Amino acid sequence: MTVRAPRPTVAGPEFGPESPFPLRLSGPVIKGFGRGSKELQIPTANIPISGLSVGGCSEIESGVYFGLASLNLPATDTRPKVFPMVMSIGWNPFYRNAVRSVEVHIIHDFAEDFYGVEMRLLVLGWIRPELDYVSKDALIEDIKTDIRVGLESLKRETYKKFESDPYLFEFGDAGVKEENGEKL
């Protein structure tokens, strides 16, 4: 049996994000494979892979990242909400995906789905490369560790200051999906 070395409790340099971070990604929340909530009990909000084309960077390395997400949720107040997030970009080797995906775990409990809502991502750092797993339990445990690492990393003042980055709040009504003249 191979034993893996303990993982660091934070990711990214202490002084704050370094190039190529922060990365700014956006897209409407789309349906994914349906495994996050149902099978892994770790819900994800997915964006189209085309959302990976940012600022001259057409190919983002597969792996796990941390940062902030904002959603233009239909609500009584007008300011978008900002949440900590971890995200996986890649092929999900455990599931042998035929297509690459962008799966964002927003660290917040939502009462309902929000497909079609515009999501903005401010990616502040890299946690680890994409891995394969011997079991679903091992995958779940690593994702839970990713969440802890992401949260601890974001507690540092040099990362926390990004919660007010204007990019996270520039939506207008363009990101709200409408159906039959009603905002969803």
pLDDT in tens, 72-94: 887 656 678 899 999 998 887 77
Q: How far apart are CA 152 and CA 4, in angstroms?
A: 21
Q: Enter the tokens of residue 35.
A: 């495994």
pLDDT (average), residues 109-117: 88
Q: Could you confirm whether 103 is annotated as catalytic?
A: yes
Is 104:44 a contact under the CB 8 Å cutoff? yes
CATH of domain 23-170: 2.40.30.30
How confident is residue 36, by pLDDT bands cut at 50, 70 and 90?
A: low
Q: Is 178 helix (H, G, I), strand (E, B) or coil?
A: strand
Q: How far apart are CA 45 and CA 59, in angstroms?
A: 20
Q: Enter the tokens of residue 55.
A: 């600022």
Q: Residues 6 or more apart from 113 whose CB is under 8 A from it?
A: none
158, exposed or middle or buried, with CB in 10 Å at 0-12, 13-18, 19+?
middle
Single-letter amino acid, residue 123: V
How confident is residue 172, by pLDDT bands cut at 50, 70 and 90?
A: low
The region of weakest confidence among 15-29, 90-104, 142-156 is: 90-104
| Structural domain spans, the chain | 23-170
Choose the catalytic residue: 39, 61, 103, 163: 103
Backbone angles phi, psi at 82, to 5 degrees: -115, 135
| pTM to 2 decimal places | 0.84
SS (H, E, C) 138-161: HHHHHHHHHHHHHHHHHCCHHHHH
Burial pattern 104-136, b for ≥16 Cβ within 10 A else e, equals bbbeeeeeeebebbbbbbbbbbbbbebeebeee
Q: How far apart are CA 80 and CA 171, in angstroms?
A: 8
